[in-house]
Amino acid sequence: MTYRQLSSVLVLSLFAGSFAFEAKATSALDSLILQGILDLDVPTGGSDGKALHFMAVEDVDDLSVYGIGTANNGGGTDGQEYTFPAESLDEGQHLLLARSTSAMSAYFGACMAEFDVVMEATTAVNQNGDDAIELFFETAVIETFGDADVDGSGESWEYSDSWAYKSESGDWDLGELGCSSGASTEDSACPYPLCSTSDGIPGCMDQSACNFNEEATVDDFTCEFPGDACDDGDAMTVFDELNENCECAGSIFEPSNQIILTGIIHAGAAPKVLEFFVLDDLETLGQYGIGTAQNGGGSDGVEWTFPDEGAEAGTFIYVTNDADAFTAYFGFTPNFGEAGAVCNFNGNDAIELFEAGVPVDTYGEIDVDGLGASWEYTDGWAYRINGTGPDGDAFVQANWINSDLGVTDGPLTNEFSNDPFPNGTYNNTPDGIGEWASGAIGMHVFPNPTADGTVRVQSNSGIESLTIYALNGQVVHSMLATGKTAFYDATSLAPGVYTIQAIGPRGERHFSRLVKTNP
């Protein structure tokens, strides 16, 4: 087997001036070293093959004085991104810090016994095979693998889908690029050097575990116990776990229907926005998530999860891919402005709202490319009809209204669009449902709510007269109009809720609510 060698580089940073470490501190400084860097191509994929291997060259009383950092893509150091827990490590012991201990156990098999301590890593262990790794002692870099200021692609120290391992001489041996593919290290073209003499039968050795293996001679860290998460194979159950009989079972899913998807707007590259309405008070949004079914390729499941925070009934939630673009377009800030890829939808992509991983509301057909479909919203928007939904995993076209395509291509703000997105207007009260019962869905009021200034009233069938009513039925303003758009100066209105009635050229009536807030 051929390995590439890289001379070890030990970067030891000392403070300038006359300050020097005391003997005890210097001993602690040298007690832990980088032993291996792993970017393995394991069968489970993703980040499961990423791990870091350390060795104690003498006793370490407290690992928490050490930490690690990843310098991604030659972008320079990001400082210490992970701190070890306050545990000890004996001289000569090996420590594996792995993104997935189960994937590593499956890959290393009996060799897992060579690691005296195995820890589950955070996302700070996210190196690709071209990223440098830094070991810190009391937040100062004491050892570096690779060059923090250089993208390692094509460099002598690259380890993509492979590993780097420090030999007894202190030099770094590297497996060939891509050599780690295989179900186990023995199956790969480059077995990890620590595993060269490993022997035994891997398995769970804890007699209290559900999967105890009495023949195992090497604990492979795969023990499962009652209460552990599992998958019972039933898509309609949630919170699956092993019960006291070690059987995997979940609870039948019953949606709480506390959140509903009410609007989607696709304004070019940004902002791309999803609007949600909170139907009932929520202690936490954390059980909800969003997914985008792109180009008719079917569901990808939950791709973004709401944070663990509460929400009040009657409020709207805005999720976007670009908070700055959203604020510039709408004039207020979104609730969540870093939704990333899940809000990178195009106007032909379906959207799914999930609760506990189960779809509870849907816009568009997840198995259909929306280009040319009735629900397409390219450079446009879609908005839920009052009182409808949530619709589960089935798309109900009749519950939505759509703008013309291209209406967001040009206007710098929603206010100056010829067909503005009717954000914050969904109404699930009986009055709201009656508002649209005629099916003449065609009037939008913007901005709404408004604190001051001009309100735009727009109808797709034209407006001949406009009347503003207070909640007691009193007429507070009436006016004649022509065309599809009318403007009303709401400055003189007292704070409160009003009903706007627009009468079209054929006598058709449109109604909408206007909320006036304090300036």
Q: Which is nearest to 321 in space by CA: 255, 391, 246, 268?
A: 268
- The token duo for 129 is 């095979």
Residue 441 banded pLDDT, cuts 50, 70, 90: very low
Calpha distance 49→411 (Å, rounded)? 47
The percentage of residues in the chain with a pLDDT greater than 70, rounded to a whole number, is 91
Q: Is residue 142 part of a domain?
A: yes
- The token duo for 375 is 């629900």
Q: Which is nearest to 175 in space by CA: 129, 118, 131, 217?
A: 129
CATH number at residue 345: 2.60.40
Calpha distance 130→176 (Å, rounded)? 13
Q: Is residue 476 part of a domain?
A: yes
Q: Which is nearest to 311 in space by CA: 275, 329, 286, 330?
A: 286
Q: Is residue 165 part of a domain?
A: yes
- On whether both 111 and 213 belong to a single domain, the answer is yes
Span 294-317, average pLDDT: 92
Residue 198 banded pLDDT, cuts 50, 70, 90: low
**Residues spanned by the domain of 208:** 4-219
Q: Which of 169, 200, 219 is the last residue of a domain?
A: 219
Residue 436: predicted pLDDT: 40
Residue 442: predicted pLDDT: 62
Residue 3: predicted pLDDT: 40
Residue 84 banded pLDDT, cuts 50, 70, 90: very high
Q: Is residue 326 part of a domain?
A: yes
Give residue-wise pLDDT tens across range 44-80: 888 999 999 999 999 999 999 999 999 998 989 989 9
Calpha distance 296→251 (Å, rounded)? 31
Give residue-wise pLDDT tens across range 446-486: 777 888 777 878 776 778 898 998 877 788 999 998 877 78
- On whether both 84 and 190 belong to a single domain, the answer is yes
Residue 439: predicted pLDDT: 37
Q: Which is nearest to 178 in space by CA: 166, 195, 190, 187?
A: 190
Burial of residue 305 (number of CB atoms within 10 Å: 0-12, 13-18, 19+): middle
- The token duo for 160 is 């993509």
**pLDDT at residue 6 is higher than 80:** no
- On whether both 248 and 268 belong to a single domain, the answer is no
Residue 430: predicted pLDDT: 55
Calpha distance 60→426 (Å, rounded)? 61
Residue 438: predicted pLDDT: 35
- The token duo for 314 is 């009657």
Calpha distance 156→173 (Å, rounded)? 11
The domain total for the chain is 4
Residue 281: predicted pLDDT: 93
Residue 341 banded pLDDT, cuts 50, 70, 90: confident
- On whether both 213 and 124 belong to a single domain, the answer is yes
Residue predicted with more confidence, 9 or 264: 264
Residue 7: predicted pLDDT: 37
- On whether both 232 and 200 belong to a single domain, the answer is no
Q: Which of 366, 399, 426 is the last residue of a domain?
A: 426
DSSP 8-state assignment for residue 9: -
Residue predicted with more confidence, 212 or 470: 212
Q: Is residue 433 part of a domain?
A: no
- On whether both 422 and 481 belong to a single domain, the answer is no
- On whether both 168 and 183 belong to a single domain, the answer is yes
Residue predicted with more confidence, 513 or 20: 513
Span 195-207, average pLDDT: 80
Q: Is residue 431 part of a domain?
A: no
- On whether both 350 and 412 belong to a single domain, the answer is yes
- On whether both 345 and 463 belong to a single domain, the answer is no
Q: Which of 380, 398, 426 is the last residue of a domain?
A: 426
Q: Is residue 480 part of a domain?
A: yes
pTM (whole model) above 0.75: no
CATH number at residue 445: 2.60.40.1930
- On whether both 204 and 238 belong to a single domain, the answer is no
- On whether both 229 and 194 belong to a single domain, the answer is no
Residue predicted with more confidence, 487 or 274: 274
- On whether both 414 and 479 belong to a single domain, the answer is no
